[in-house]
Amino acid sequence: MKRLGVDIDSETLRLALTHRSYAYEHGGIPTNERLEFLGDSVLGFSVTEYLYARYPDLPEGDLAKRRAAVVSTRALARVARELSLGQFVYLGQGEKLTNGADKSSILADTTEALIGATFLSQGIDVAKDLVLRLMAPLIDEVENLGAGIDWKTAIQEIAAARKLGQIQYVVEGSGPDHARVFVATLTIGGTAYGTGTGPSKKEAEQEAAASSWHLLNPDAAASAQS
């Protein structure tokens, strides 16, 4: 796939881009979920190995926090949006009508499936290289943002330091039980800030906290991306 800079055979590539909503509407054909499962493992291993070598003095807990931030739904969806992957995903009509091509959970899952497809087509070395090319900028950003590694904690610290008021997450879920999508809105002192989506309330809240952190710290966020 040219956007990824890797060669994936056409059959495996199509499978990696096939969301379950499309598969259901087309007679129950295979979905990208098994490739997503495989890609998640390759992603986790590649990032873990990179962090272990790059930060020889960091304790396990700090390494785990950095890894969690880099492999989060928000981070993977961001990578997918930068590559405009959403336009290539095979979606059912229901997901198309609800802008599924830009849902963070679908984009993150597709990114993992493509990593899994790369592993099957080209092997572990090429797959690891892909992961690092995609995720290295985010690893640098996590390092520069510091406290932003744990977004909800970072928001608590900002709200307390600036005396912004009480923090509240308003979370709404939609979709069937097997494919729930949650949308969280973060309010501080009654003012709405960032929103986030995810396959669980926890992930949606983390994404909302991350989005809010960037709104409250535009200079630091811009510096991290420069």
Catalytic residue among 7, 9, 25, 40: 40
For 52-82, letters b (16+ CB in 10 Å) and e give: eeeeeeeeeeebeebbbbbbbbbbbbbbbee
143 is in an annotated binding site: no
Query: Of 135, 130, 154, 172, whose CA–CA distance to 210 is shortest?
Result: 154
Active site residue 112: yes
Catalytic residue among 33, 57, 112, 219: 112
For the chain, what is the radius of gyration of the CA atoms? 18
112 is in an annotated binding site: yes
82 is in an annotated binding site: no
Cβ atoms within 10 Å of 146's Cβ, excluding its own: 10
Query: Of 214, 108, 188, 64, whose CA–CA distance to 100 is shortest?
Result: 108
Active site residue 40: yes
Give the catalytic positions in this structure.
Answer: 40, 112
Feature table: binding site: 36, 109, 112
